[in-house]
Each structure stands twice: as structure tokens, then as C-alpha cells.
């Protein structure tokens, strides 16, 4: 499995192919359509991360020392961005998830979506992923 | 674009737009198309210059000093109050309280008139259309006093259901608080009719004027409403300033809101007496600069004239609505017979946030989401809408650009 850093650098390279916003968003929308939809049974109150504009659901799964994430959103661009976050962080070690920041977001020009405004659940979701990793680390000590 | 704003007007759209520096902006390399006017309007140079002029020329604290700068600042501040009194046809400028905006004004009424008058078992009537700022202060009042909050329903067009209003209005009702124009749907409510029915049961009517003052003429004498709350920043004026109109007799009988300097006559540790209207409700140093600049916004509106503003905005709304209805899978929300220039809609299987993000990349600013009207969204069975809201400086060409952008975005997202 590639490291968090390696995957982020891959993504940055992929996005360098795009010249303008239209192409970037077209690609992100494509990724959003690729994201495996989350089973309705995981769309619970405890899994929902509410934003002002869109909703995000996050289902963690801790297996054999690695933390996996299953997510969904009702907005497609957010889905595309969470597809990328899942690609980076899912199936990685707890210590890495807890410590590695998602620097690729800024490098691909999408930092406004991770800003801690109420507008979307993305920043909160990122925070929640980290919190799961930290909590599990504490549990396993 | 030297076409006249309307056939009657001497003013051209170009001359109006040229007064707004921000309209020169580009966003992501495209010309800005600003359709978020219900959230806040842009400011003409005269308003911006008034702010700079105050701070550069005669900044001083008001109502207290003898020196020239203090005199000039005080005159300019009070001049805005007089302008507002004329603008709204209040019977006196004592009936104009300067506040931070609509939200503060409504809270002021709830805390003073509300707490003084409302008792356990009394009822407060609001509508399904209301912005959170015209819901929460009344909920807080009900919690404090044991009064009950009731809600006027709407019909499928987003108009007030007058049957629902009549059924819930009774001698138990002490306060009715409704918006003049809905920020989410654009519906204009029949405030004059509502006011007379409210008075017939011995209650008072509070009107949320945030969305009305930039669009049509307000005449407090003709409407006979008891309280009218409004915001400067939604009528081409600065943020952080607004006002509350209240009938003199009511304002005089109400207890003060915030305590401190300016709102007093005499202070001793044993007892303090309060100032007369309007200063009774203006504690502390106010937002002097922005109050002064607000006068420039009033003049801007008066120079164009409400009749021209209404005609132009109606043309914009009709054009936008017609174009929007051509889009496959689009639902218009808010189809009242009488509306201000707000077009709210949803598109099947497309999330409004995605639309907003893509429209932004084309330089187009719209608002999406629940518009601070969560109960209304619940009533409509939706999570939010996409809202394009127009102002006097918007153009038909801008609407065409918006529609083209919208179609492009929809294609990308489907």
C-alpha cells in the first residue's frame, strides 16, 4: 500500500494536467460519480456530518490495525473531493491518519472547500477522520 | 448599455452601474455577475465616499462635544435619522431608532415591548416564511414568559394562507410578526390588510422589512404598522446599521433595551433616569460613520425612484423566470402573484451546492441552501434552493449569462 504522502503526490500530479477550473471540476465530478454509494444503513445520525449546504456521512471500519473509511454525500463535487480523501487516508495506519495533513487539497486549488465555514461538511469530515484515528490509538494503547 | 433603465427614467443602466466600483470585478477571469442581492447589496460610490469622507474630515463622537467636529458629526448623524423619517413617512424622527440592523431591531421589540406586555397563555403569531431572525427572538420570548408561538401556514405558491391567519388570530394574540417580503421565495405579504386585522383583536404588528426597503415604497402612516425593522446593507447602504420604526406611543411606554451612556438623563448610584426618544434606545457610541453613509444610500434610491426600480426589477424577474422554466427538471419555488425580484429554484437530481460551485467558476454569484429559513425549507420538503436575487444595477444580459452558465453546469452534473 502506498503511503499517504505518495498518494497525495500522485493526485497533485494528476491535477497538473488540467488548465482551468472547468476541467478540474469535470474530473472531480467524474470521481464523485465513481464513489461507491454508502449503504443506507450507515446513513445514521451518528455518522452524519452536517454542513449548511450539503451532508456528508462517514463510516469508519478498524480492521487488522488499519482504519478504513466509507463515505457519501448528497452533493457531487463534495463526493469527488471525499473520493480523493478516502483514496489518501483509507486503509492506512492510525498514527499516519492522525498526523498527516491533506496538503494535496491546496495544491490542486480546492482549499476553499476545506475551509472551516459552515458551508460544507468536508472540513468537519476531515477533522472527524482524524479524531477516529486518535481515539482508536488511545484505545489500543 | 446606454439603454434607459425604464422608459420613464432619465437614468441609464450604464450610469447606474458605473456608480458601483465592485461591478468592475472579475471572478475566475470572468466578469462578475452578482445575483446575491437578497444577502447584501453592493454600494454606490457615494456611500463609500461618505464613509471615507467622515473618517477623513469630521470624525468625532456625537451628542457630547461642543467643538466643531462634534457638531458636524452630530448633525450628519441626526440628518440620516430625519431622512429615514421622511423616507418611511414616520410622523416624527423620534420614531426612528438607529440600530445594527433588522435582527437587533426585532430583538429590541421582543425584549422590551415583548417582555413588558406578553404573559403566560398569550400568543405570538409568526409565519412559515420567516427568517430565523424573525423566529428565534419570539421563541426566546415565549420561553421566558410562557406564551405560545403559532405559525401562519402558506399555500403552494408560497403566499400566506389567510385562512390559517384568521383561524389563529384571536384576543389571546399579543404580537404578530411577519416579513414584508420573503428572502427565500420573494413573496410580498398583504401587510396593510394584516395590520388592520391585527389591530382589531388588540394586538400589535411587527414587520420584518429587511427585503422590502430596497424594492418598494414604505409609508408607515398608510400601512399603520406598529414596528418596522430594516437593514442598511440590504438597501445599498453599509453593513452594521439599520433601524427600527415604532409608533411613538408604544416606544414611549416601553422600557429601555441596553443601558449605558447616551440613553440616560441623569445617573446617580441610587437611581438613573432615561433619555427621551429616540436616544432612550441608542446606548453607547453608535456606528456613526455607517449611519451617515446610509443617508447616501437613501438619496441613491430616491434619485432613481421606486417606480423605476420596481419596473426594472419586474422585467428582470420575469425574464429570469421565463428562462428558468425552460430548463428540464427545474422547479420554481415561490410563485406568488406579488413578488420582489427573487428567483428560487431546484433542479431534479442536482444538489444546489454543486450548482453554486460551478456558477462561481463562471463569475456568477448566487446563494444556495436554506437561506436562514430552515422551517420554510422543511415545510416545502426540501433541504435548500438556489436563489438568484436582483437589484437595480442588474441587467437582462447578466441573466442570459446566468442561464447559459446554469445550463452548462447542469450538463456537467447530470
pLDDT, tens only, B239-296: 999 999 999 999 999 999 999 999 999 999 999 999 999 999 999 999 999 999 999 9
HSE of A43, CA atoms in CB hemisphere, 13 A: 10
Q: With bands split at pLDDT 50, 70 and 90, how would you rate the model's confidence at B1?
A: very low
Q: Which of A45, A52, A138, A141 is catalytic?
A: A52
Q: What is this model's ipTM?
A: 0.90
In this predicted structure, the answer to whether residue A119 has a pLDDT above a threshold of 70 is no
> What distance lies between CA A52 and its chain's CA centroid?
18
| Angle A87-B361-A86 from CA coordinates, rounded to 5° | 10
Q: With bands split at pLDDT 50, 70 and 90, how would you rate the model's confidence at B343?
A: very high
Q: With bands split at pLDDT 50, 70 and 90, how would you rate the model's confidence at B193?
A: very high
| A53 in Cβ contact with A113 (< 8 Å) | no
**Interface with chain A: mutation pick from B349, B353, B385, B409, highest number of A CBs within 10 Å:** B353
Q: With bands split at pLDDT 50, 70 and 90, how would you rate the model's confidence at B29?
A: very high
Phi-psi group of B158: left, alpha or beta (phi > 0 → left; psi -120 to 50 → alpha; rest → beta): left
Q: Do A21 and B384 touch (CB under 8 A)?
A: no
The DSSP code sequence of B120-166 is TT-EEEEETT--GGGTHHHHHHHHHHT-EEEEE-B-TTS-B-HHHHH
Q: Do B351 and A25 touch (CB under 8 A)?
A: no
Nearest chain B residue (CA) to A77:
B354
Q: With bands split at pLDDT 50, 70 and 90, how would you rate the model's confidence at B2?
A: low
Nearest chain A residue (CA) to B412:
A26
pTM, to two decimals:
0.94
In chain A, alpha helices (H): 4-15, 21-34, 76-89, 94-99, 104-107, 122-140
**Interface with chain B: mutation pick from A28, A53, A56, highest number of B CBs within 10 Å:** A53
Mean pLDDT on B89-116: 98
| B88 in Cβ contact with B304 (< 8 Å) | no
Looking at chain B, the whole-number percentage of residues with pLDDT higher than 70 is: 97
Q: pLDDT tens digits, residue range B129-174? A: 999 999 999 999 999 999 999 999 999 999 999 999 999 999 999 9
| B210 in Cβ contact with B183 (< 8 Å) | yes
Q: Do B353 and A53 touch (CB under 8 A)?
A: yes
Nearest chain B residue (CA) to A121:
B353
Q: Do A77 and B368 touch (CB under 8 A)?
A: no
Q: Which of B11, B299, B372, B382 is catalytic?
A: B372
At A126 the pLDDT is 86
Asked if A53 has any chain B CB less than 8 Å from its own CB, the reply is: yes
Nearest chain A residue (CA) to B363:
A21
Mean pLDDT on B332-358: 97
Q: pLDDT tens digits, residue range B221-236? A: 999 999 999 999 999 9
Q: With bands split at pLDDT 50, 70 and 90, how would you rate the model's confidence at B7?
A: low
Q: Do A75 and B413 touch (CB under 8 A)?
A: no
Q: Do A120 and B370 touch (CB under 8 A)?
A: no
Chain A environment of B361 (Cβ under 8 Å): 21-22, 25
What average pLDDT is seen over chain B?
96
Residue A115 C-alpha cell reads as 475551509
Asked if A29 has any chain B CB less than 8 Å from its own CB, the reply is: yes
Count interface pairs A-B at CB distance under 8 A: 40
Helix (H) or strand (E) holding B365: strand B364-365
At B203 the pLDDT is 98
Q: With bands split at pLDDT 50, 70 and 90, how would you rate the model's confidence at B368?
A: very high
Chain B interface residues (partner A, CB cutoff 8 A): 28, 351-354, 356-358, 361, 368-370, 383-384, 412-413
Q: Do B361 and A77 touch (CB under 8 A)?
A: no
At B64 the pLDDT is 83
CB atoms within 10 A of CB B211: 28
Q: Do A26 and B412 touch (CB under 8 A)?
A: yes
d(CA B219, CA A35): 56
In this predicted structure, the answer to whether residue A88 has a pLDDT above a threshold of 60 is yes
At B330 the pLDDT is 98
Q: Determine the distance in angstroms separating the CA of A87 from the nearest CA of chain B, rounded to an integer.
A: 21
> For A25, which of B351, B361, B383 is closest by C-beta distance?
B361
Q: With bands split at pLDDT 50, 70 and 90, how would you rate the model's confidence at A54?
A: confident
At B351 the pLDDT is 95
**Interface with chain A: mutation pick from B354, B363, B410, highest number of A CBs within 10 Å:** B354
* Catalytic status, residue B142: no
Chain A environment of B368 (Cβ under 8 Å): 53
Q: Determine the distance in angstroms separating the CA of B382 from the nearest CA of chain A, rounded to an integer.
A: 12
Amino acid at each position: 500500500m502506498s503511503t499517504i504522502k505518495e498518494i497525495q503526490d500522485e493526485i497533485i500530479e494528476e491535477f497538473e494536467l488540467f488548465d482551468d477550473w472547468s476541467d478540474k471540476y469535470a474530473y472531480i465530478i467524474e470521481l464523485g460519480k465513481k464513489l461507491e454509494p454508502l449503504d443506507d444503513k450507515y446513513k445514521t445520525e451518528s455518522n452524519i456530518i452536517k454542513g449548511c449546504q450539503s451532508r456528508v456521512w462517514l463510516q469508519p471500519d478498524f480492521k487488522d490495525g488499519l482504519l478504513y473509511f466509507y463515505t457519501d454525500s448528497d452533493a457531487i463535487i463534495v463526493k469527488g473531493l471525499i473520493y480523493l480523501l478516502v483514496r489518501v487516508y483509507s486503509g492506512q495506519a492510525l498514527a499516519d491518519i492522525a498526523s498527516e495533513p491533506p496538503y494535496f487539497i491546496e495544491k490542486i486549488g480546492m482549499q476553499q472547500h476545506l475551509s472551516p465555514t459552515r458551508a460544507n461538511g468536508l472540513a468537519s469530515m476531515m477533522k472527524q477522520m482524524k479524531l477516529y484515528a486518535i481515539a482508536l490509538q488511545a484505545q489500543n494503547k | 448599455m446606454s439603454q434607459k433603465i425604464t422608459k420613464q427614467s432619465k437614468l441609464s443602466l450604464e450610469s447606474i452601474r458605473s456608480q458601483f466600483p465592485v461591478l468592475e470585478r472579475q471572478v475566475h477571469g470572468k466578469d462578475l455577475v452578482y445575483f446575491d442581492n437578497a444577502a447584501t447589496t453592493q454600494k454606490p460610490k457615494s456611500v463609500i465616499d461618505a464613509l471615507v469622507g467622515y473618517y477623513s474630515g469630521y470624525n468625532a463622537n456625537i451628542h457630547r462635544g461642543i467643538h466643531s467636529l462634534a457638531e458636524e458629526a452630530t448633525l450628519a448623524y441626526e440628518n440620516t435619522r430625519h431622512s429615514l423619517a421622511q423616507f418611511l413617512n414616520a410622523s416624527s424622527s423620534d420614531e426612528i431608532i438607529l440600530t445594527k440592523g433588522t435582527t437587533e431591531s426585532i430583538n429590541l421589540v421582543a425584549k422590551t415591548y415583548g417582555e413588558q406586555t406578553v404573559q403566560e397563555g398569550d400568543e405570538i403569531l409568526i409565519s412559515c416564511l420567516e427568517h430565523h431572525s424573525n423566529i428565534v427572538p419570539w421563541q426566546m420570548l415565549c420561553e421566558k414568559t410562557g406564551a405560545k408561538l403559532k405559525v401562519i401556514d402558506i399555500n403552494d405558491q408560497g403566499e400566506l394562507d389567510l385562512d390559517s391567519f384568521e383561524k389563529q388570530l384571536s384576543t389571546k394574540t399579543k404580537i404578530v410578526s411577519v416579513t414584508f417580503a420573503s428572502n427565500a421565495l420573494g413573496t410580498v405579504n398583504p401587510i396593510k390588510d394584516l395590520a388592520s386585522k391585527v389591530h382589531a383583536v388588540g394586538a400589535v404588528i411587527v414587520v420584518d422589512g429587511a427585503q422590502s426597503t430596497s424594492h418598494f415604497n414604505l409609508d408607515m402612516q398608510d400601512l399603520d404598522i406598529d414596528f418596522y425593522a430594516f437593514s442598511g446593507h440590504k438597501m445599498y447602504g453599509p453593513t452594521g446599521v439599520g433601524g427600527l420604526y415604532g409608533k411613538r406611543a408604544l416606544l414611549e411606554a416601553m422600557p429601555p433595551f441596553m443601558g449605558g451612556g447616551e440613553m440616560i438623563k441623569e445617573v446617580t448610584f441610587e437611581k438613573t433616569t432615561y433619555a427621551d426618544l429616540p436616544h432612550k434606545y441608542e446606548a453607547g457610541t453608535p456606528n456613526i460613520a455607517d449611519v451617515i453613509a446610509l443617508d447616501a444610500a437613501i438619496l441613491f434610491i430616491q434619485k432613481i425612484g421606486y417606480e423605476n426600480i420596481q419596473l426594472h426589477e419586474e422585467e428582470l424577474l420575469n425574464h429570469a423566470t421565463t428562462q428558468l422554466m425552460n430548463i428540464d427538471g427545474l422547479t420554481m419555488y415561490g410563485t406568488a402573484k406579488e413578488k420582489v425580484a427573487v428567483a428560487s429554484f431546484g433542479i431534479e437530481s442536482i444538489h444546489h451546492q454543486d450548482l453554486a460551485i460551478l456558477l462561481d467558476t463562471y463569475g456568477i454569484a448566487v446563494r444556495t441552501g436554506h437561506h436562514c429559513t430552515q422551517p420554510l425549507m422543511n415545510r416545502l420538503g426540501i433541504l435548500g434552493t438556489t436563489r438568484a436575487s436582483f437589484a437595480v444595477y442588474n441587467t437582462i444580459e447578466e441573466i442570459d449569462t446566468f442561464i447559459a452558465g446554469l445550463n452548462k453546469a447542469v450538463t456537467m452534473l447530470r
